[in-house]
Amino acid sequence: MAKQNLEEYAYESIVKLIQGNHFKPGDFLLETELAEMFNLKSRTPIRHALGQLVARGFLEKKKKKGCYVPLASAEDARHVFFARETIESSAACSAAMHATREDVEELRAVVERESETGESGRKYDYSTLNEAFHTTIARISRNPYLQRYCEHIFWRSNIYVFLFGGYYTQPNFVKHMLSPPQHIRIVDAIENRDAEKARELMAQHVRFTFDRIFNLI
């Protein structure tokens, strides 16, 4: 397997473990343990994958101790989702002002695939497409600063979504898959160039996610 493919494999495998609650907040992810678990002869792909997840804000790192799942708390969740609501709603507003026909078609294709993978129960693929939806809107905003911070805060909030969100913790995954319909309404507002509606719908969408998981933290 090529070096890049090994890194992608390690990255995907680590995220799946966290989605599956194999690691809890505060747990350290040890390179040797992960390499053995994934049957990798070298720890390098693991190290690079962990580095990517730290850079994205999904994991944290302590000097001389390694990478770990951030500690979860209601107060931190409030801060994270308030920041995400503020940043992503601004990105959606800007996207409505700048989106091209091709941009809208790309968003609709992402939502369609998101629904298909969710209904088939492919949680990792679903989460990847959910990320693609939000990061595509950030890119369409044509504001590089919004794009950068949207990506970071999205991944930081995913710790709470993966560990406490019904999408990933409940046996009936499809029953709890409520994002695609909300995403469709956001795309409609962007296509109609209704900037304030896009802002409002994105804010409601992020707040909805927070409200669903807050009492479980």
> What pLDDT, on a 0 to 100 scale, did the predictor assign at position 4?
61
Query: Tokens 């053995």 sit at which residue?
Result: 36
Mean pLDDT throughout 52-61? 93
pLDDT at 91 over 60: yes
Q: Could you tell me the end-to-end alpha-carbon distance of the chain, in angstroms, rounded to an integer?
A: 39
CA angle 108, 129, 205 (to 5 degrees): 75
Q: What percent of the chain has pLDDT over 70?
A: 92
> What pLDDT, on a 0 to 100 scale, did the predictor assign at position 82?
97
pLDDT at 88 over 70: yes
Per-residue pLDDT of 194-205, as tens digits, reads 999 999 999 999
Mean pLDDT throughout 70-94? 96
Tell me the pTM. 0.85
Per-residue pLDDT of 8-48, as tens digits, reads 999 999 999 998 889 989 999 999 999 999 999 999 999 99
Helix (H) or strand (E) holding 209: helix 195-214
Say which residue, 175 or 129, is predicted with more confidence: 129
197-204 contacts, C-beta under 8 A, 24 or more apart: 197/96, 198/92, 198/93, 198/95, 198/96, 199/89, 199/90, 199/92, 199/93, 199/96, 200/89, 201/92, 202/85, 202/88, 202/89, 202/91, 202/92, 202/93, 202/137, 203/85, 203/88, 203/89
pLDDT at 49 over 90: yes
Q: Choose the weakest-confidence range: 57-61, 117-121, 140-144.
A: 117-121
> What is d(CA 60, CA 2) in angstroms, rounded to the nearest whole number?
27
Architecture of domain 3-68: Orthogonal Bundle (1.10)
Domain locations in the chain?
A: 3-68, 74-214
CATH superfamily of 74-214: GntR ligand-binding domain-like (1.20.120.530)
* Pairing assessment for the beta strands 66-68 and 28-29 based on DSSP bridges: antiparallel
> What is d(CA 6, CA 12) in angstroms, rounded to the nearest whole number?
10
Tell me, what amino acid is at 70? P
State phi, psi for 60 to the nearest 5 degrees. -120, 165
> What is d(CA 16, CA 133) in angstroms, rounded to the nearest whole number?
19
Per-residue pLDDT of 142-188, as tens digits, reads 999 999 999 999 999 998 988 887 666 665 555 555 688 999 999 99
